Amino acid sequence: MSQMTQINSEDAKAHVEAIVKRSKTSFYWAMRRLGEEKRSAMFAVYAFCREVDDIADDPGLGTDKHVQLTEWRDEIERLYENKPMNPVSQALAAPKDHFGLRKNDFLALIDGMEMDAHNAVRIADMPTLELYCDRVACAVGRLSNQIFGIDQQTGDPVAFSLGQALQLTNILRDVHEDAQRDRLYLPQDLLKKHGITVQNKATSVLDQSSLPDVCRILAQTAQRRFEESEAILETCDPVQMRPAIMMMEAYRRIFHRLLKNNWECFDPPVSLSKAEKLWVVFRYGIF
């Protein structure tokens, strides 16, 4: 783990904001629109996500990744003992207390990165895929909703539905790119049902004629999750849930392009232009 040293709270805040800014996320300016406490908290959560995700995505050995993720698991324990050592977790210290951020959500995200850290990724079935989505996406939604001030009774369901919708969209968009890295998130039992047997490498599925059928079935689940998310968000304060609405609208545009493409071509992946992302920020970020 990098930079295991104590720094003051203002330096910790500056450190995580720099991580967010460096990531060039289109929603940096959306997060900037939040009040100071919420903005600092979201930057810290995002920076934590970036740190553990970078470990999982590193091209190095899986064993090295697991060691680093274990170090982060220990660091989260230190955070909840009020003894954080890393600048990112130090930036999380005040939000953890002020917004009641739950330790299990941070640990769930690390668990998700553990699934990604293997040299080859395979998902056995839909329940395993849903567990993966819960760890890498829904957990982030639960943390975010705590910061937005959404009560758990409303926040957890929207985190579940929207997290699933966003992560399934990522998976459906990145089939080719993930396969090149020997990652296959399409459930093995669903592939087998459509006559697709994975050989040594995940790329073996890319030339299978029935692969689009598998993607279309998974897209049906994503579509339901988008509809559930929209229904729940319509009952919430739009200003309070502004970042979630922006994420939903941006990803739904990608999802609709995937539907139009009908999974006939996986490379290059569908994406939004910078102008389109900015339009979403201005359209749904200003009420």
Which token pair is 275? 């102008």
Contact status, residue 1 vs residue 72, Cβ threshold 8 Å: yes
- What is 1-119's CATH number? 1.10.600.10
Of 167, 171, 178, 190, nearest to 120 by C-alpha is 178
Of 131, 223, 121, 134, nearest to 172 by C-alpha is 223
Domain boundaries, the chain: 1-119, 120-287
* Kind and range of the H or E run holding 253: helix 242-261
Which of 56-65, 132-141, 206-215, 269-278 reaches the highest mean pLDDT? 132-141
Q: Do domains 1-119 and 120-287 have the same CATH topology?
A: yes
pLDDT of 279 reads 47
Which token pair is 65? 């990744």
Per-residue pLDDT tens digits for 97-126: 999 999 999 999 999 999 999 889 999 999
CATH of 120-287, one of 1.20.120.1730, 3.40.50.1100, 2.40.50.140, 1.10.600.10: 1.10.600.10
User: What does pLDDT average to over the chain?
Assistant: 88
Q: Which residues are CB-contacts of 218 (< 8 A; sequence separation ≥ 6)?
A: 168, 171, 172, 186, 187, 190
pLDDT of 26 reads 62
Of the two residues 265 and 243, the one the predictor is more confident about is 243
Per-residue pLDDT tens digits for 183-233: 999 999 999 999 998 888 999 999 899 999 999 999 999 999 999 999 999
Per-residue pLDDT tens digits for 151-181: 888 899 999 999 999 999 999 999 999 999 9
pLDDT of 85 reads 94
Instruction: Tell me the C-alpha distance between 218 and 193, whole Å.
Output: 13
pLDDT of 287 reads 45
Q: What is the pTM of this model?
A: 0.89
Instruction: Tell me the C-alpha distance between 164 and 251, whole Å.
Output: 11
Of 98, 247, 243, nearest to 162 by C-alpha is 247
pLDDT of 3 reads 52
